[in-house]
């Protein structure tokens, strides 16, 4: 048993459904652009532009939609009707209004940990959108605060842990992304739980296995409770 | 003399130039749309849509650009060429790459306060963009961290002050907006310094005078040093 002081939870696809909604939006976008290219090519191009724009826009819905508009202009070679652009903007607004679907075991886990550890949300994405989701999920009461991180690399976690005024070994991160929630935290000497979600965004995939004494792979978030007294 | 523990600084138009760049982008946008409406009408419409979208997009460049695209579609009644949309996206990307122009007295003030108080940046806008600006300004070394707030109302400051674990009377906010940096802080029992910038976004304007024992109106940020021993 380790004496954790802070337990941080990723939000999207760890606490509640997210990737599913982005996949739906992408599906609609591919439909909208189907006169120009195959679904697969559109998806590839969207992914390429999104990654290319990450350093400009960061993560989240607004940057996603701006990238979508950019792709729409590019693959239609500027012949697209503006009505299509209007639709893309609408996809974005719809994304900000999606219902919050808690993942299995989340509420029970937070209820059990609340009051015993400082719980924070550590997430990428749009600040306002993440606040809205945590608030509307009813989970806000469990968290000390929300950390919206511009990225989730080692340096970002180092900053976070320093700001939280704990030692890395007192920090436990729980999330669905091996790349963003697990590897950088382990590298710093922290602990990390991976709870996979059924869909993983291409950008978050890694292709090797993790073996580490501070790493825990669980199928349900409630198993986190095994790590605490 | 009050015993401050945290001094928080607004970023845009308090530490460095911002509104000027948004005004430039708006100028270009009005030029782009000048076939459809007068400059004044375009500006009014952009403002209306921006405010209307605040609860969806929050503050910052990305939401601004999405609103601009929306206005472009609306006032052209969907007859606009997509090349114009491409230009608008470009305006946004340019905004994320503007040079950082420190305002007069900022570096001297932070240098004098650094190490004696916990200094934080408390700002609205895009997380990534605010980080970039604080980092590129060379001011990052003075700050404990950056608080990107989804809004700057009383409740947001109450959250912030609680998270910082200080009492309101130990909190001093410095900013260029009476509405966002001064009034909510005074209402909570904190202290606030107003350092006006030559341009104020319509949304940040208030039309009454503030008289309050914890309120200080200075023409140069360096005057903040008068408040500390």
CATH (domain of A141):
3.40.50.1000
Which residues, other chains included, contact B203 with Cβ-Cβ below 8 Å and sequence gap of 6+? Answer: B47, B50, B51, B179
What is the domain-level CATH number for residue A32?
A: 1.10.150.240
Do residues B142 and B41 both lie within one domain? no
Say yes or no for a CB contact (<8 Å) between A56 and B96: yes
Do residues B164 and B183 both lie within one domain? yes
Lowest mean pLDDT among A11-15, A22-26, A160-164, B187-191: A160-164
The residue among B126, B144, B145, B161 with the most chain A CBs within 10 A of its CB, best to mutate, is B126
Do residues B195 and B88 both lie within one domain? no
**φ/ψ of residue A167, rounded to 5:** -85, 150
Q: How many CB pairs under 8 A join A and B?
A: 81
Question: What per-residue confidence (pLDDT) applies to B1?
Answer: 55
pLDDT per position as a tens digit, A178-213 = 999 999 999 999 999 999 998 777 777 777 788 899
**φ/ψ of residue A194, rounded to 5:** -105, 120
Instruction: Please state the rounded mean pLDDT for residues A66-86.
Output: 90
Closest partner residue to A66 among B56, B62, B82, by Cβ? Answer: B62
Domain boundary among A95, A114, A146: A95
Q: Is residue A190 part of a domain?
A: yes
Do residues A207 and A220 both lie within one domain? yes
Q: Is residue B80 part of a domain?
A: yes
Say yes or no for a CB contact (<8 Å) between A57 and B56: no
Question: What per-residue confidence (pLDDT) applies to B2?
Answer: 67
pLDDT per position as a tens digit, A88-105 = 999 999 999 999 999 999
Express as a percent the part of chain B with pLDDT over 70.
99
Closest partner residue to B85 among A85, A93, A148, by Cβ? Answer: A85
Mean confidence (pLDDT) of chain A: 92
Do residues A109 and A217 both lie within one domain? yes
Q: Is residue B1 part of a domain?
A: no
Nearest CA-CA distance, residue B50 and chain A, Å: 14
At residue B39, does pLDDT exceed 80?
yes
The residue among A6, A82, A89, A160 with the most chain B CBs within 10 A of its CB, best to mutate, is A82
Q: Is residue A212 part of a domain?
A: yes
pLDDT per position as a tens digit, A140-159 = 999 988 888 888 999 999 99
Do residues B167 and B180 both lie within one domain? yes
At residue B116, does pLDDT exceed 80?
yes
Do residues A86 and A114 both lie within one domain? no
At residue A29, does pLDDT exceed 90?
yes
Residue A117: which pLDDT band, with cuts at 50, 70 and 90? very high
Which residues, other chains included, contact A89 with Cβ-Cβ below 8 Å and sequence gap of 6+? Answer: A65, A69, B66, B69, B70, B73
Do residues B153 and B199 both lie within one domain? yes
Do residues B200 and B117 both lie within one domain? yes
Domain boundary among A76, A95, A114: A95
Measured distance CA(B12)–CA(A204) in Å, rounded: 33
Do residues B68 and B138 both lie within one domain? no
Do residues B181 and B90 both lie within one domain? no
Express as a percent the part of chain A with pLDDT over 90.
77
- Integer-rounded Cα Rg, in Å, for chain B is 19
Structural domain span for residue A82: 19-95
Measured distance CA(A195)–CA(A221) in Å, rounded: 6
Say yes or no for a CB contact (<8 Å) between A86 and B78: yes
Do residues A134 and A214 both lie within one domain? yes
pLDDT per position as a tens digit, B58-112 = 889 999 999 999 999 999 887 788 889 999 999 999 999 999 999 999 999 999 9
Q: Is residue A73 part of a domain?
A: yes
Q: Is residue B202 part of a domain?
A: yes
**Per-position DSSP letters for chain A, written without gaps between them:** ----SEEEE--BTTTB--HHHHHHHHHHHHHHTTTTS-HHHHHHHHHHHHHHHHHHH-SSHHHHHHHHHHHHHHHTTT---HHHHHHHHHHHHHHTTPPP-BPTTHHHHHHHHBTTBEEEEEE-S-HHHHHHHHHHTT-GGG-SEEEE-S--SHHHHHHHHHHTT--GGGEEEEES-IIIIIHHHHHTT-EEEE---S---GGG---S----TTEEE-SSGGGGGGG--
Query: How many structural domains compose chain B?
Result: 2
The residue among A49, A57, A165 with the most chain B CBs within 10 A of its CB, best to mutate, is A57
At residue A69, does pLDDT exceed 60?
yes
Express as a percent the part of chain A with pLDDT over 70.
99
Domain boundary among A50, A68, A95: A95
Residue B145: which pLDDT band, with cuts at 50, 70 and 90? confident
Q: Is residue B28 part of a domain?
A: yes
Say yes or no for a CB contact (<8 Å) between A56 and B127: no
Nearest CA-CA distance, residue A160 and chain B, Å: 9
Q: Is residue B212 part of a domain?
A: yes
Burial B155-187 (b: 16+ CB within 10 A, else e): ebbeebbeebebebbbbbbbbbbbbbbbbbbbe
Looking at the DSSP bridge assignments, the partners of residue A174 are A9, A193
Residues of B in contact with A83 (CB under 8 A): 78
């Amino acid at each position: 048993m380790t004496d954790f002081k802070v337990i941080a939870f990723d939000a999207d696809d760890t606490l509640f459904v997210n990737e599913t909604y982005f996949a739906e939006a992408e599906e609609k976008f591919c439909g909208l652009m189907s006169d120009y290219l195959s679904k697969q090519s559109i998806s590839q191009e969207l992914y390429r532009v999104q990654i290319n724009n990450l350093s400009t826009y960061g993560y989240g819905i607004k940057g996603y939609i701006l990238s979508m508009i950019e792709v729409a202009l590019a693959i239609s070679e500027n012949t697209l009707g503006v009505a299509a652009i209007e639709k893309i903007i609408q996809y974005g607004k719809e994304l900000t209004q999606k219902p919050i679907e808690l993942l299995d075991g989340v509420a029970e886990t937070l209820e059990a940990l609340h009051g015993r550890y400082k719980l924070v949300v550590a997430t990428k994405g749009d600040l306002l959108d993440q606040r809205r989701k945590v608030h509307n999920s009813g989970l806000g009461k469990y968290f000390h605060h929300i950390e919206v991180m511009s990225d989730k690399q080692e340096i970002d976690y180092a900053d976070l842990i320093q700001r939280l005024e704990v030692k890395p070994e007192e920090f436990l991160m729980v999330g669905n992304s091996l790349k963003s929630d697990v590897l950088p935290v382990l590298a710093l000497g922290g602990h990390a739980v991976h709870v996979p979600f059924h869909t993983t965004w291409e950008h978050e995939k890694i292709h090797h296995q993790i073996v580490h004494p501070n790493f825990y792979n669980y199928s349900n978030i409630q198993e986190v409770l095994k790590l605490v007294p």
